[in-house]
């Protein structure tokens, strides 16, 4: 069966998946500022209300690998549309919820939809955009995703102060309904390396879901019960044991949902460690710093959200530029610089933050941290795609996103534990003391990530297909390539739309 023709406008596909990811990233942070209003309307305990945040995070982290695997087997476009439908429908149910229990359930289904959308969006992007044009596309994807994170607190604050909390969820519904027919017409179908005959790794699905659930559930509950709790220790231990069993099974099965050969590539493994470090440091810090303006300085949710924009908004500006630069100089220098800037920004914030600190003293470290995020978002995504054949893009993206979410959950839980050991919510001074103790932990983890970045992909290697004449030659900027980078050639065997019976993608070559 011949491959489908190239898309006339591949960036239309990029815009479609970017808008969908915007919604899922927005919902990561948008609910936090609305919890007091939800409590006043629906009642419920503080612990129950926290599950409106945790249910989304838990479902998102648990089903990322599953979403990628189902897309490879049943079609990425088809599963992307299903994920978008689930997310949109669950948003409507959340908006109409008359009890905390219904709201928590709807948030869990939202997380499931997001877990399908996020990894498949990158696989669809990799299939739609030629490799030589992928840098700007990934930059746009990263900028829009970053915009969702940036606007989360501000949108939540504006909705809470200007209207009813349910509009946090209603906002998703018209966007999702409009996007569904556009995605149906504007995306083409693609599959994993086995095409439509790709078998479903059912034991892998069960083991990965149970293992990630146990690990994530234990981390989430540690904030309430403490790390020494029997529930927390048992949940994390069971999760680790089951995940170990999952890895053993992936080595034995002939059709793994997570090909471990991906991790034989040093750049791929290093990139994923860097992703973990970034989300550990930044999400844990954003979680606490986002509350500083309300708890310590007495501001409203909208003003508090707007004051974080120099930090969370910078990726919108920097990520597209970083995506273009990554094509020219490779992701490695951008990743190292981005992680270093984030580490400097956090340590600076820890040094200057006081109860009565002037906002002007926070703008520069906020901007440094945000610029660092922007330098990492697009290149890290490109590095993951470059280190995996296109046919494995969904599984590689699913693995990276699962690692990312786990890093964020770990970061929030561990920084919250450090915070609680040195401070509390009792008074502005106590809160600030806890904040100043916790933020340097995130800074140190980010600094370690900068060192790990030295092992990530350098300048992309030129393949035999492009050696004769490449876009770089046309621009007159061809230069030496880093032989340590892994960039598999785009052959029919590695196309993202392999037909049934297509030859399997050759194993990745370990990179020194």
Per-residue pLDDT of the chain (512 residues; tens, 9 = 90+): 444 444 557 778 888 998 898 888 888 777 877 777 788 888 876 667 778 877 888 888 888 888 888 888 889 999 999 999 999 999 999 999 989 889 999 999 999 999 999 888 888 887 888 777 777 777 777 777 767 766 777 777 778 777 888 998 998 999 999 999 999 988 988 887 666 776 778 898 899 889 988 988 888 788 778 888 999 999 999 999 999 999 999 888 887 878 888 888 888 899 999 999 998 998 778 778 877 887 888 887 778 778 888 887 788 788 888 888 887 888 899 999 999 999 999 999 999 999 999 999 999 999 999 999 889 987 887 788 777 776 777 778 778 877 887 888 788 888 888 888 888 888 999 999 999 999 999 999 999 999 999 988 777 655 433 433 333 333 333 333 333 333 333 333 333 343 333 333 333 333 33
Q: Which residue has the tokens 């409106």?
A: 52
Rounded Cα distance between 237 and 397, Å, is 26
Q: How far is the C-alpha of 1 from the C-alpha of 369, rounded, in Å?
A: 49
Q: How many Å separate Cα 202 from the centre of its chain?
A: 25
**DSSP code of residue 356:** T
Contact between residue 198 and residue 504 where contact means Cβ atoms under 8 Å apart: no
* Backbone angle region of 4, left / alpha / beta, with phi > 0 → left and psi within -120 to 50 → alpha: beta
Burial label for 470, CB within 10 Å (0-12, 13-18, 19+), is middle
């Amino acid at each position: 069966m011949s491959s489908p023709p190239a898309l006339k406008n591949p960036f239309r596909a990029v815009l479609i998946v970017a808008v969908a990811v915007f919604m899922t990233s927005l919902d990561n942070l948008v609910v936090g500022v609305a919890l007091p209003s939800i409590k006043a309307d629906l009642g419920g305990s503080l612990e129950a209300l926290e599950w409106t945040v945790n249910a989304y995070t838990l479902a998102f982290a648990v089903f990322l690998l599953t979403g990628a695997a189902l897309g490879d087997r049943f079609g990425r476009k088809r599963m992307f549309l299903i994920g978008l439908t689930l997310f949109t429908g669950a948003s409507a149910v959340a908006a109409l919820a008359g009890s905390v229990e219904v709201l928590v359930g709807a948030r869990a289904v939202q997380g499931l939809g997001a877990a399908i959308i996020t990894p498949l969006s990158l696989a669809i992007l990799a299939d739609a955009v030629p490799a030589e044009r992928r840098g700007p596309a990934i930059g746009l994807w990263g900028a829009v995703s970053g915009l969702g994170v940036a606007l989360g607190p501000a949108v939540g604050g504006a909705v809470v102060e200007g209207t009813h909390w349910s509009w946090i969820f209603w906002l998703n519904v018209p966007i999702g309904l409009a996007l569904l027919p556009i995605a149906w017409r504007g995306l083409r179908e693609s599959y994993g390396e086995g095409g439509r005959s790709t078998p479903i790794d059912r034991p892998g699905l069960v083991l990965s879901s149970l293992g990630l659930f146990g690990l994530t559930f234990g981390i989430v509950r540690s904030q309430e019960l403490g790390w020494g709790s029997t529930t927390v220790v048992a949940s994390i231990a069971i999760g680790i044991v089951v995940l170990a069993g999952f890895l053993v099974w992936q080595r034995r099965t002939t059709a793994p949902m997570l090909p471990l050969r991906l991790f034989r590539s040093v750049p791929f493994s290093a990139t994923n460690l860097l992703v973990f470090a970034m989300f550990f440091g930044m999400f844990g810090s954003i979680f606490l710093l986002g509350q500083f303006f309300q708890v310590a300085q007495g501001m409203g949710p909208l003003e508090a959200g707007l004051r974080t924009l120099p930090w969370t908004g910078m990726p919108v500006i920097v990520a597209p530029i970083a995506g273009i630069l990554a094509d020219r100089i490779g992701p490695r220098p951008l990743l190292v610089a981005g992680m270093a800037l984030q580490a400097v920004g956090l340590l600076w914030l820890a040094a200057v933050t006081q109860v009565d600190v002037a906002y002007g003293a926070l703008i520069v470290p906020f901007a440094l941290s945000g610029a660092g995020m922007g330098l990492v978002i697009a290149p890290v995504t490109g590095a993951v795609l470059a280190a995996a054949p296109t046919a494995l893009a969904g599984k590689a993206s699913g693995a990276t996103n699962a690692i990312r979410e786990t890093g964020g959950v770990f970061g929030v839980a561990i920084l919250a534990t450090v915070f609680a050991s040195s401070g509390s919510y009792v008074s502005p001074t106590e809160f600030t003391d806890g904040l100043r103790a916790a933020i340097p932990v995130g800074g140190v983890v980010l600094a370690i990530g900068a060192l790990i970045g030295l092992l990530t992909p350098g300048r992309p290697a030129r393949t035999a297909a492009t050696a004769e004449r490449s876009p770089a030659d046309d621009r007159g900027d061809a230069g030496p390539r880093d032989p340590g980078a892994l960039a598999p050639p785009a052959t029919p065997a590695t196309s993202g739309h392999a037909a049934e019976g297509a030859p399997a993608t050759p194993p990745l070559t370990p990179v020194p």
